[in-house]
Amino acid sequence: MQTKFLIPSHNDLKLISEAEKSFFGKEFGINLIKNHVKNSGYAIIVTTNGKFSGHMISNISRLEAEIITLLILPDFQRKGIGRSLMIHFAKYLINKGVKYILLEVSVNNFQALEFYSSLGFNSVGLRPLYYKNDNVRSDAKVLKGNAEYIQNFKVK
């Protein structure tokens, strides 16, 4: 299995936008993604054996990065790709002098909670009723990870 992490082209932005819509059911338009990237953000796509297999969009400030969205497409999940992406991202951040990664995740998103926990993320806060899916609201945990620690994980 060959996994690559690439800066998205304009066509890739369309793939990201479509994947967001079909998986999370929410618009994440191309212009919004471009804005994130322009305003100190970082977007990346993952290809596995040449096929689009996932993406991540983040905002980066001086000491912290915030993951806005992260998705590994269902056919590619549980193969170590998400972890490889986080290792890749952590190395990128360390090179920029950024130490911490923050994100929100629904208290009901078991797979994501397990995923981040396996990379040493800790819960540092709770945002009540943060998400709304099909008119059902759920709390979000705020998780914090250490880039130095994450970069030392081994790729599967």
CB 78 to ligand COA: min, Å: 4
Q: Which one, 56 or 98, has the nearer CB to ligand COA?
A: 56
φ/ψ (deg, to 5) at 85: -65, -45
Instruction: Mark the segment that binds ligand COA (CB under 6 A) among 11-19, 26-34, 68-76, 129-137.
Output: 68-76
CA proximity to 47, closest of 29, 73, 65? 73
φ/ψ (deg, to 5) at 58: -140, 165
Told to check if 70 binds ligand COA by CB under 6 A, we report yes
Told to check if 107 binds ligand COA by CB under 6 A, we report no
Q: Which one, 13 or 143, has the nearer CB to ligand COA?
A: 143
Q: Which one, 36 or 83, has the nearer CB to ligand COA?
A: 83
Told to check if 27 binds ligand COA by CB under 6 A, we report no
CA distance 18 to 128: 28
SS3 for 90?
helix
CB 91 to ligand COA: min, Å: 16
CB 155 to ligand COA: min, Å: 9
Structure tokens at 109: 């998103």
Please report, as ranges, the residues that interact with ligand COA according to CB under 6 A: 70-72, 77-83, 103, 105, 109, 111-112, 114-115, 118
